[in-house]
Structure 1
Amino acid sequence: MLVPLKRERFDELIPAVPTSDQYQHYWGNANDVFRRVMVSVALLTVFALAYGRVTADGDFSFNGLALLTFVGAGLGSLYWMLAPVASAARRNGSLRRYEYGALWIAEIWDVFLTEEVLGREEKVDRRGRLAVDFNTESYLNLVVGDEVWETTVQVPMRRAYKRIEPGQMVCLLIFANDPNFARIAKTHSDAYLPQLRLWLGSYPFLRRDSFEQLTRYYFRRR
């Protein structure tokens, strides 16, 4: 079932300002935070030195260049905290650029696993022979569809996904630039399985509480 959404609802489900889940996704681990802090320190130092040189003559009136370096120092000092916001907003924008979105309620037709090679590492053993190690990860693939459309949802395999079976319902947003959805974009949002109350996706595009409420509303109407 395909349910076109009004733009107001579209913007509510995929907000321009990132949600806490989206911010947390890009917050990263301790090493990511440390790297951002180091960048902030470097930016603050560079702009502070530049501001000092601009105002070296003792004129503290905010001319254009002084104001620019002052603002740059302020933003640079906050880079460690603002970078996840910018990354999440840019990720949301990749879907918000479409003019139309629709709730798609489909059925899981097939479930299968694949192994994806993430990288390779070459080592030389004690005998001087080259050994190649491949870094792989298991991915769960769901073939989902209805009479309107068909696509494959692929996510890294997790223990909770073992409950997923063909015949279960799946809900997600799909996108197009024409109101009739004659040409549906290949990109889609993260997916929700209402029967299992389970989310699938590498990134939480959707405001999940609002989307769950939306799916409950349409399931009651069926």
Structure 2
Amino acid sequence: MLVPLTREKFNQLVPLIATGPQYKYYWGKFPDFLQRLLISVVAAAIVLVIKVIFRLDFGPIVFLLGLIGALYWLWGPVFWASMQNAKCRRYKYSGFFRGRVLDWWITDELVGKQETVDSKGDLVIVENREKRINLEVGDDTGFTAQIKVPLRVEHKAIARGQVAEMVVMSNRPDLSRIEQISDIYIPRRELWVSDYPYLRRDYFPEVSRRLRDHEQQRRNRQPRPEIDTRGSRRSKEIRENRRRWEEEEIDNY
């Protein structure tokens, strides 16, 4: 099932400003924080050096630039998450997709290499690998989509045939060509399958529930096919007449 979404509804699902989970995603691990902190220190130092050397008169502007640079470690995740959201919001049309899990499999992906020296002084290259789950979803129309995300413990609950929901994006009004998909939601397990959390996870389940209720009401409003009982009544009359005729034949015999 594919239901077009209004622009207003899509903007609510994929906000312009980063949400909490999106900020957490780009906050990263401790090395990521140290990298941002180093950038902040360097940016503040550059602004200070420029002010001292060139003796600029734009005191408030320079101070503001220095403050922004010094706080990059804090606002950096908001900026990068908002940029990621903007990539999705550039698509003109979107839709709510409901299908099923067709297949899933695990792969071992190379995510980076690290050079180190062993006890003998030889250069050793260590490969950093990460297990990922590949999820394929589709519907009765033949549409399929795949997503590859880092493997988590909660992914053990995924099974073939489960209902899967997501938001699809396109530049065509009829959504005939899907350009981008969001993270996948499995309502039966209340499970999200994603790397970057595109959708508002506090709002998408409510949208899903409303669309399910609307679809059920639409089916209930459809007129039921009329059953022609004349044929069945006629057959019953024929059977009754045949039974009486057989009884009369037996009595006459």
Q: How does the TM-score come out when normalised to structure 1? A: 0.86
Alpha-carbon shift at residue 77 of structure 1 (Å): 1.6
Which residue in the other structure is 2:23 paired with?
A: 23
Which residue in the other structure is 2:203 paired with?
A: 210
Deviation digits for residues 112-165 of structure 1 (CA, Å, limit 9, x no counterpart): 222222245678988999987543322212211011521112222222111111
Greater C-alpha radius of gyration = 2
**Which consecutive residues of structure 2, in runs of 5 or more, have no partner in the other structure?**
217-253
Q: After superposing the two structures, state which structure 1 stretch, 113-122 or 2-11, moved more.
A: 113-122
Which residue in the other structure is 2:89 paired with?
A: 96
Structure with the larger helix share? 2
Alpha-carbon shift at residue 22 of structure 1 (Å): 0.7
Deviation digits for residues 19-73 of structure 1 (CA, Å, limit 9, x no counterpart): 11111111122332222222212211221232234447xxx5x4xxx55433321
Structure with the larger strand share? 1
Which residue in the other structure is 2:51 paired with?
A: 51
SS at match of 2:203: helix
Alpha-carbon shift at residue 203 of structure 1 (Å): 0.6
Deviation digits for residues 177-203 of structure 1 (CA, Å, limit 9, x no counterpart): 011112111x21111100000001001
One-letter amino acid of the structure 1 residue matched with residue 198 of structure 2: F
Greater RCO, 1 or 2 (C-alpha within 8 Å, sep 6+): 1
One-letter amino acid of the structure 2 residue matched with residue 181 of structure 1: L
| Distance in 2 (alpha carbons) for counterparts of 1:180 and 1:141 | 28
| Counterpart contact for 1:51–1:70, Cα < 8 Å | no
Which residue in the other structure is 1:13 paired with?
A: 13
| Distance in 2 (alpha carbons) for counterparts of 1:120 and 1:28 | 19
| Distance in 2 (alpha carbons) for counterparts of 1:134 and 1:37 | 27
Q: 1:31 to 1:180 in 2, by over 3 A?
A: same
**Which consecutive residues of structure 1, in runs of 5 or more, have no partner in the other structure?**
none
One-letter amino acid of the structure 2 residue matched with residue 216 of structure 1: R
